[in-house]
Amino acid sequence: MSHAFICMLHTTMAITLANANGFSVSTFSTGASVTDIKLPNGTHVVLGYKDLEDYSVNSLYIGCTVGRCTNRTANAAFTIGGVEYPISANVAPNHLHGGFVGFNKLTWRVTAQSETSVTYSLLSPDSDQGYPGNLSVTATYTVTPNNELIIEYRASTDKPTPVNLTNHTYFNLAGQGDILGHTLTLNADNYTPTDDNLVPTGDLASVRGTPLDFLSSHTIGERYQQASDVGYDNNFCINATPTLESDPNLKYTAKLEEPTTGNCLEVYTNQPCVQLYQGGYLDGSVNGLDGSPILKYTGLCLETQKHPNAINQPRFPSTLLCPGQEYYSKTVWRFTCTR
Ligand SMILES: *[C@@H]1O[C@H](CO)[C@@H](O)[C@H](O)[C@H]1NC(C)=O
Ligand SMILES: *[C@@H]1O[C@H](CO)[C@@H](O)[C@H](O)[C@H]1NC(C)=O
Ligand SMILES: *[C@@H]1O[C@H](CO)[C@@H](O)[C@H](O)[C@H]1NC(C)=O
Ligand SMILES: *[C@@H]1O[C@H](CO)[C@@H](O)[C@H](O)[C@H]1NC(C)=O
Ligand SMILES: *[C@@H]1O[C@H](CO)[C@@H](O)[C@H](O)[C@H]1NC(C)=O
């Protein structure tokens, strides 16, 4: 595809998907972002910017697709086949969330669209942010009649490159206030401990007896101060069972409930890990959908992903994508709880 063609289509677009119940999901081409999710009873359950132009800056990564690699890569470098690749060191000395100009800052093209589904596509050229190979990526959002949003990422490359994409949606099931009263269950016996730079050490540790034990439900507020100065920001390894009835490749990952409204979210994924981040770095510097500042702990992320720093950690499964392979990540957010 020629560059002229890409430039011609370089216009931003907002697209809203909806089912017959009135469950709707709004998306935007900058970062292939999820900008709003509205339940049938009218509650807006994710954080978003009022002004869509804010998505082109988005230092808080609200609602966007993060890539080529989410989270930190130690010392912003990795080696493939004896060749070292320095990558964008946007949080020196490390690489974070795809670098200075990650996928969240780019304008994706709409390549398929219906009332309930949209596909955004992106071509990340060879050496983009230092990563090897031309990478072709799509993000597909589909709304189902059961008040589910299905998120699918696909990628292919012409040279081996690490890939692990995630989106960065902050949930607030009450649609207002903080998330400390939300109750969470995580289907995870283990987590990945980190060093002083928050880079995973390569070990797995049991959650038992720690504030990270969400095997039975707990409110976020109950133990977050024991987790860290900014509350939860941890990566969990999802247990292999149970799985989704309609798709055994998708593992039951999490259930989030807001007791005063009864609003509820279940997460299912084919990815090995989920990052729980409770919005400890939100600082009121930007305004949300209702125009008021987005404050600390007003939204919570459950980012499904591969193991952080996997490329530099022989003990973690590989995130390397090779020519001829397809990267495929699928996650379901179900807003009608069954568990
Ligand atoms: C990436 O695509 C460009 C343009 O099509 C091509 O010249 C280049 O060889 C490709 N890079 C690799 C690593 O295949
Ligand atoms: C990256 O992952 C580590 C380990 O789970 C976590 O402590 C850290 O906060 C994460 N950083 C970001 C920006 O997601
Ligand atoms: C809002 O809708 C969701 C999803 O249909 C439901 O689970 C929840 O109980 C409803 N909440 C209220 C306050 O009606
Ligand atoms: C996208 O992010 C949300 C919330 O942070 C998470 O629950 C979901 O699993 C992610 N989806 C994918 C495909 O990574
Ligand atoms: C995979 O994702 C993690 C965070 O989830 C990131 O730190 C890592 O760099 C990514 N992959 C590779 C191959 O490095």
Please check if 107 is assigned to a binding site. Answer: no
Question: Which numbered ligand comes closest to the C-alpha of 147?
Answer: 3
Q: How far apart are CA 197 and CA 93, in angstroms?
A: 10
Instruction: Look at residue 310 in the predicted model and tell me its pLDDT.
Output: 56
Q: How far apart are CA 314 and CA 326, in angstroms?
A: 21
Element (H, E) at 2: none
Query: Who has greater pLDDT, 105 or 315?
Result: 105
Question: For the residues of 58-120, what is the DSSP string, one character each?
Answer: -TT-TT-EE-SB-SEEGGGEEEETTEEEE---TBTTBEETT-TT-GGGSBPEEEEE-SSEEEE
Please list, residue by residue across 226-260, b when 16 or more beta carbons sit within 10 angstroms of its beta carbon and e when fewer do: ebeeebbbbbbbbeeeeebeeeeebbbbbbbbbee
Q: What pLDDT, in 10s, does the model give residues 106-135?
A: 999 999 999 999 999 999 999 999 999 999
Could you read off the pLDDT of 195-207 as tens digits, one per residue?
877 777 778 899 9
- Give domain 3-337's CATH number out of 3.90.1580.10, 2.70.98.10, 1.20.58.710, 3.90.550.10: 2.70.98.10
Residue 209's SS3 state is coil
pLDDT for 290-315, tens place per residue?
Answer: 888 999 999 999 987 766 555 555 55
Interacting residues of 82 by C-beta distance below 8 A, sequence separation 6+: none
Burial class from Cβ neighbours inside 10 Å (0-12, 13-18, 19+) for residue 49 reads buried
Query: With the C-alpha atoms ordered 300, 252, 227, 303, is the resulting torsion angle positive or negative?
Result: negative
336 lines ligand 3 (CB under 6 A): yes
Distance CA 337, CA 261 (A): 13
| In contact, 238 and 187? CB cutoff 8 Å | yes
- 21: which 2 tokens? 């119940």
Q: Binding residue per annotation — 72?
A: yes
Which pLDDT belongs to residue 165?
A: 84
Between 99 and 10, the higher pLDDT residue: 99
Tokens of 81: 């086949």
For ligand 2, atom 1, name the residue with the nearest CA. 71
- CA–CA distance, 160 with 67 (Å, rounded to integer): 15
- Distance from the first to the final alpha carbon of the chain: 46
| pLDDT at res. 2 | 36
Which pTM does this prediction carry? 0.85
- The residues annotated as belonging to the active site are 168, 303
Please check if 71 is assigned to a binding site.
yes
Structure confidence at residue 1 (pLDDT): 36
Q: DSSP character for 220?
A: H
Atom of ligand 1 nearest to the CA of 159: 13
* pLDDT exceeds cutoff 80 at 318: no
